[in-house]
Amino acid sequence: MRFVPPVPRRSALVVHVTLAAQVLTVAALVVFEHVRGRRLAREISALGGDPHAPGAQAVVGAVTVFAVLVMLVAVATVAGAAAYLTWLVQARQNAALSWTPALPVLAAWLVPGVNLVLPPLLVHRLWRASRPPADRRPRWVALLAAWWLSWLATLAVAVIRLPFGAPHGNSDLTGLGLADLAVVALGALLCAATVRQVTAIQAAGARASAHALTLAAQAGPFHVAAGGRRQSQARISSQPSPAVSKRSS
């Protein structure tokens, strides 16, 4: 009997948590930008980058808060990427794909250029290997395409807004706004939806396999007993009766 790895429910939950953390940290950064960031950018510009200039101490607290928020966004993003890759590797192993090592997954996501095309193909192959119902394919393809387009939009937002900390036209710190937050939130939501769908399909397949094994285990003793009775009856019928033995003698 082939060993089937467990369904990666826990790693899927970690993906959802880290995606939520990423959205929340970006939202906090956007709120800071609108409440304090624009005024802080003007104050930093007036100081001319001199930490000893008059009034420099007055902005230390705000700069510290901004730095902490940027750090939290970075940590949440890295944690989300690590959680997603962990889930992807485990889900591929559970689907019993022929190329189960983690190296192809890491290469698909980390090699520049390749990571713009190959990841959704790998996820689609994972979905097919999980044996989903045939009628779900159109909805899945639409979900996968929407997620990947939103992810590319999120990546574009990150590239355009980097480096953090450099005032954009002396009017704000990062340039992040509600539209950027909406793109990040949409990408996270669609990513979580793809993870949830693949995990649910694998969980349903695991339940069906477990039910089939249970039925086989319950039917096993009955078949053995029935087979034993049939063999005993065959042996009895093959033996000649006493009357036949007397006539033959």
Convert the pLDDT of each residue in 213-247 to its tens digit: 566 666 655 444 445 555 445 444 555 544 444 44
Quick one: pLDDT at residue 100?
52
Q: Across the chain, what does the average pLDDT equal?
A: 77
**What's the predicted TM-score (pTM) here?**
0.75
What pLDDT digit, counting tens, does each position of 42-59 carry?
A: 776 666 655 556 666 767
Ranges in the chain, pLDDT < 70: 1-6, 44-56, 58, 97-102, 161-172, 208-249
pLDDT value at position 53?
Answer: 61
Q: What is the pLDDT of residue 245?
A: 45
Which positions ≥6 away from 97 have C-beta within 8 Å?
125, 126, 129
Residue 187 amino acid letter = G
Which residues lie closer than 8 Å to 154 by C-beta, 6 or more apart?
183, 184, 187
Beta bridge partners of 168: 172
- Side-chain-side CA neighbours of 133 within 13 Å: the count stands at 6
